[in-house]
Structure 1
Amino acid sequence: MQPTPPQDVGLNHWNFPEAHEWDPNDDVVCIGGDLAPATIIDAYKHGMFPMYLDHQQSVLGWWSPVERGILELSDFRVTRSMRQSARSMRTTFNQAFRDVMIACSNTHKEGNWITEEFIEAYCRLHDLGWAHSVEVWQDDQLVGGLYGIRVDGFFAGESMFHRRRDASKVALMALVGAMQMAEMTLLDTQWWTEHLQSLGATELPRRDYLKRLELALTPAGVTPAKIVKTT
């Protein structure tokens, strides 16, 4: 099954600052706004993503890390262990989006930013065809997955989880393969981590990332290639 083509989310009614106005030393570029579909999608198109600034979740921040984590699709490292694990697992796309988000939220209980408000906002984007999930199944149990936002040739990976060894890596392997098939060009991991580095991730300065993002976004009105389900 192919994902629902993205629906028009309308205009963003908030004025985000332009990139040249951002503090060059701060990952947070502005605060406030809301989690309406138009706000979120416009933010991703301009290199930002939402996350609360505090544990009380009282201040919504819009982030564009000074050093941005990305995974070049051609650099993704598939190990023998991952291939072996994948043989006993089944992957799907967009079959259990809410369940994947909830599982990711439970994985990050300390400092968790995936609140019920975020789950509802991103499930709405999923219904509109902008947010996508990869599920990994074993014996008909959801054992891993990831979710994120896709705009044209760009995918922003938001979070992933695993309940079996390598299950999140198998989800990422499925995503990379689907992106390559769809001729997508930019997989954003938001921040660099040692774990992601072991899979091939690297960092780009914000300025370079924004250039890559611009190239990955096709002109308005162009129908993006569809990510197809893999099994």
Structure 2
Amino acid sequence: MVSRCPRWEALDVLEAAPDGPVAFSADLSPVGLLAAYHAGVYPFPASDEYTRALNEVVFADHVQEGRIPLVGEEPADPFAVSWWSPDPRPVLPVSAAHLSRSLARRLRNGLSWSTSLNQGFERVVRECRGDRVPLWLTDDLIASLVSLHELGHAHSVEVWEDGNLIGGVFGLRVGSVFSMDSMFFQRPGASKVAVSDLAARFAQAGGELLDAQRDSPHVRDLGGILMPREQYVRRLRRTARDSLPMPTATLPARRLAEPAGSR
């Protein structure tokens, strides 16, 4: 029997499979997207009809049997967007995020990079989309992300070289957790500098954890660890909704290569 949750708040993420979609829902509205992140869930929209149809072929039985619920009451095709909450969850404690020795050496030895916060949110998102396959950053998702940025929930860090945008990262803040959606680079190491800068700014605002969503060697190189989903969701549920704003000043990236106590 199909299981339907009227709201993300009603979804029991902890009962979901650890390595597959935890729900289907076509709702990519700003309100729905923000509620999903508060529940520990992020979207993966189908980039084309083939991917949508594949979702239905692979998971329709799971939906019909109630093992994967449908969220919301909207009549739109739910298989257009799958929602995920992996177990374990790859995260970076802000105190543990770090640059490799070689990248730190490059910054100390003269790379004239600088970093900023929220000076080019949509540019960063569209650079992250680029020509990647699958194209999960759809127009609908980007529109909602931009709306959430304007409302103060979504943020970006930019890395600059001589006025040119060469790297960045963006995502949503949920109290003391920041869920990173994607990053990009046009110079080697620029995305790692963006994440390190985000960790430093987020720590200054009382943040504790960067959520990497998907595990990778890139995440591990930055100091990422695996956290049980139950622990991650507990962190989201107890996190404070009222937090300090992150510093917005444009700063030299070289400071990220200095000892933490001297920044």
TM-score (norm 1): 0.85
Quick check: 1:47 aligned with 2:40? yes
- CA–CA separation in structure 1 for the residues paired with 2:47 and 2:120: 29
* Contact 2:46–2:136 (Cα < 8 Å) also in 1: no
User: In structure 1, how many angstroms separate the alpha carbons of the residues matched to 2:84 and 2:167?
Assistant: 26
SS in 1 for 2:157: strand
- How has the CA–CA distance of structure 1 residues 100 and 21 changed in structure 2, closer, same or farther, with 3 Å as cutoff? closer
Distance change in 2, residues 1:226/1:55 (3 Å) = same
**Counterparts in 2 of 1:100 and 1:14: CA distance versus 1, 3 Å:** farther
Taking a change above 3 Å as real, the CA distance of residues 21 and 225 of structure 1, as seen in their structure-2 partners, is closer
Which residue number corresponds to residue 257 of structure 2? none
* Kept in 2: contact 1:14–1:33 (CA 8 A): no
Aligned counterpart for 1:225 among listed residues 244, 249, 252: 244
RMSD: 2.0
Opposite residue 156 of structure 1, the aligned amino acid is S
Question: How has the CA–CA distance of structure 1 residues 21 and 175 changed in structure 2, closer, same or farther, with 3 Å as cutoff?
Answer: closer
After superposition, residues 30-69 of structure 1 pair within 5 angstroms as: 30-53=23-46, 55-56=48-49, 58=52, 59-69=80-90
CA distance in 2, matches of 1:44, 1:70: 15
From 165, 170, 178, give the equivalent of 1:155. 178
Out of 12, 19, 22, which is 1:19 matched to?
12
Could you state the TM-score of these two structures normalised by the residue count of structure 2? 0.75
Question: Could you report, residue by residue, the CA deviation over 1:118-155 in whole angstroms, capped at 9, with x for unpaired residues?
Answer: 11110111111111010111010000001000122110
Q: Quote how far apart the aligned CAs of 1:18 are.
A: 2.6
Q: How many residues align?
A: 214
Report if aligned partners of 1:75, 1:200 keep a CA contact under 8 Å in 2: yes
Map Cα deviations across residues 37-71 of structure 1 (whole Å, 9 max, x no partner): 11111111111111125643641112111221101
| Cα pair 2:43 2:82 within 8 Å, conserved | yes
**Paired position in structure 1 for 2:212:** 189
5+ residue gaps, structure 1, are 1-12
- Work out whether residues 14 and 230 of structure 2, in 8 Å CA contact, stay in contact via their aligned partners in 1: no
User: Mean alpha-carbon deviation: is it higher for 22-31 or for 93-102?
Assistant: 22-31
1:89 alignment partner in structure 2: 113
User: Within the alignment, does 1:179 sit opposite 2:202 as a pair?
Assistant: yes
Question: Which of 14, 23, 28 is the aligned partner of 2:21?
Answer: 28
Shift, 1:26, TM fit: 4.2
In structure 1, the residue matched to 2:92 is 71
Moved more, 172-181 or 47-56: 47-56
In structure 1, what is the equivalent of residue 133 of structure 2?
A: 110
- Structure 2 CA distance for partners of 1:20 and 1:178, relative to 1, 3 Å: closer
Q: Which amino acid aligns with 2:149?
A: H
Larger Rg: 2
Task: Please point out which of 195, 199, 203 is paired with 2:222.
Answer: 199
Instruction: Give SS of 2:212's match.
Output: strand
Q: Deviations over 1:50-102 (max 9, x none)?
A: 11256436411121112211011222122233333374101111011111011
Higher relative helix content? 2
Q: Which of 151, 154, 164 is matched with 1:141 structurally?
A: 164
| Cα displacement string for residues 146-177 of structure 1 (whole angstroms, at most 9, x for unaligned residues) | 10001221100000000012111111111010
